[in-house]
Structure 1
């Protein structure tokens, strides 16, 4: 019986080395992205007096909610927070209601100029926000909807819609058309086939599109500052008071801007994973 040839351990070592380097790079990128959020959170839970100390300690000696209480107790902060939440939710609903059918049409219908149309839709996103906000502010003043959550929703929908159309188009392309045709064979109409077959398979991608749209709406500040005055969103409210605000207000404002978006992402991620598991089953 002949002996087995020796196994060269070098390929295995190289794979382990690459895996270790990839994991180290992921950890470094995660730390790089999370460190500012952690530092802002620690500063937000410090007292205003501790923020003015020098040298500052990395971790506050005692945690305090005085900074956040002063921020949320400021004039217009709570209404601005509510306006941002409403604008974000309305923007997600409007973008999916308009972009979903458009993405489905791009995925299922072959027509002349479809590729050029997709490029044109994406080019709209390349326009500076001022190019959209100033003409829209003029129209909103003319139609009496200036300085409302509705006007902010329209602006944010215009910003998010091109990307939503392309994302939903790629989602519907990934759903085999044969499944839809099979549903029609079993007696489903087009809309029923989409509702019973296509949408359940596309839900994870639509949830991912909702995350992108909400974060875009929540973080947008320049357009909201132009088209609102008394009913500002939270980023526009913080921007308006930033020049004269104390340091504690800035840290509390940054923390208040980051946390809701993170919570929305975490909640949608949980449902995203659950929907993906249900879809795969």
Structure 2
């Protein structure tokens, strides 16, 4: 086997791998979208793989009759609060880890990761009791604080890596010309780190948006979208919801997150050093 044949086989294997990964991600989205708007007759027709008659009844029912629209608004508020609180705590911590040398630095970094070792279901009952005592039960702020506890370790590690990639000499030069360390951070380091921080915000948003267990146990009326969808598809009319309602729920769950990632992708791609044309 000559080098040209080996190169072609490697190229074919590479493109086959990329196609498999893309299909693994895209096909479920396409299927859920098609059957979210499929008519009941097409959905139960064994001879039809792709529906030809469509309706918006299932999506409208979940959104406006079963309360998913309120869940979307609650999820957006919780995700934005999670990003704000996580960044308020995580950016200073990440900057300190990236810029300063101190005793126990590696231990602290490992401890931050170790916070994710404990499964949330184990802490469910103590968490609910604590929230009841603090009057945070069934509040959006309470859910945002719980999501912050889940996202903050990753935010600290991501931001520390981002700030570590910004040249320290730039800050030192700014301080030589009269800026304080805070001024150098705000005017030099932070603008250079914005693409990476946008990627961290994207991760935090998606994590908060998809989280269902904490939102389900901490809320009853002010539920986020995943918790609301869970109660709809698992408990509609005292039993499991019809399958076309589940596809409609999957479509409603994925669309807002995809829109957020679509609009924020430029910052993520910029961080990787790729220019969008």
Compare CA radii of gyration and give the structure with the larger one. 1
In structure 1, the residue matched to 2:52 is 61
In structure 1, the residue matched to 2:121 is 130
CA distance in 2 between counterparts of 1:46 and 1:60 reads: 6
Q: Are 2:196 and 2:267, in contact at CA under 8 Å, matched by a contact in 1?
A: no
Give the Å deviation of 1:111. Answer: 1.1
In structure 1, the residue matched to 2:76 is 85
Please give the per-residue CA displacement for 1:27-77, whole angstroms capped at 9, x wherever unaligned: 1110112111111111101123432x1316232112221221121122322
Relative to the length of structure 1, the TM-score reads 0.90
- Residue among 16, 20, 34 paired with 2:12: 20
- RMSD between superposed Cα atoms in Å: 2.0
In structure 2, the residue matched to 1:187 is 178
Equivalences, count: 270
CA distance in 2 between counterparts of 1:254 and 1:240 reads: 13
- CA distance 1:214–1:56, change in 2 (3 Å): farther
Please give the per-residue CA displacement for 1:83-132, whole angstroms capped at 9, x wherever unaligned: 11111111111111111110000001111111111111111112112244
- Residue among 3, 28, 31 paired with 1:39: 31
CA distance in 2 between counterparts of 1:253 and 1:217 reads: 17
Q: Are 2:199 and 2:267, in contact at CA under 8 Å, matched by a contact in 1?
A: no
- CA distance 1:220–1:84, change in 2 (3 Å): same
For structure 1, which runs of at least 5 residues remain unmatched after alignment? 1-8
Q: Are 2:66 and 2:232, in contact at CA under 8 Å, matched by a contact in 1?
A: no
In structure 2, the residue matched to 1:248 is 244
CA distance in 1 between counterparts of 2:16 and 2:273 reads: 29
- Residue among 138, 148, 151 paired with 1:157: 148
SS at match of 1:73: helix
Give the Å deviation of 1:274. Answer: 5.7
Q: Are 1:50 and 1:60, in contact at CA under 8 Å, matched by a contact in 2?
A: yes
For structure 2, which runs of at least 5 residues remain unmatched after alignment? none
List 4+ stretches of structure 1 deviating above 6 A.
275-279
In structure 1, the residue matched to 2:88 is 97
Q: Which moved more, 1:231-240 or 1:270-279?
A: 270-279
SS at match of 2:65: coil
SS at match of 1:155: helix
CA distance in 2 between counterparts of 1:98 and 1:90 reads: 12
In structure 2, the residue matched to 1:139 is 130
CA distance in 2 between counterparts of 1:163 and 1:219 reads: 16
CA distance in 2 between counterparts of 1:66 and 1:274 reads: 40
Relative to the length of structure 2, the TM-score reads 0.91
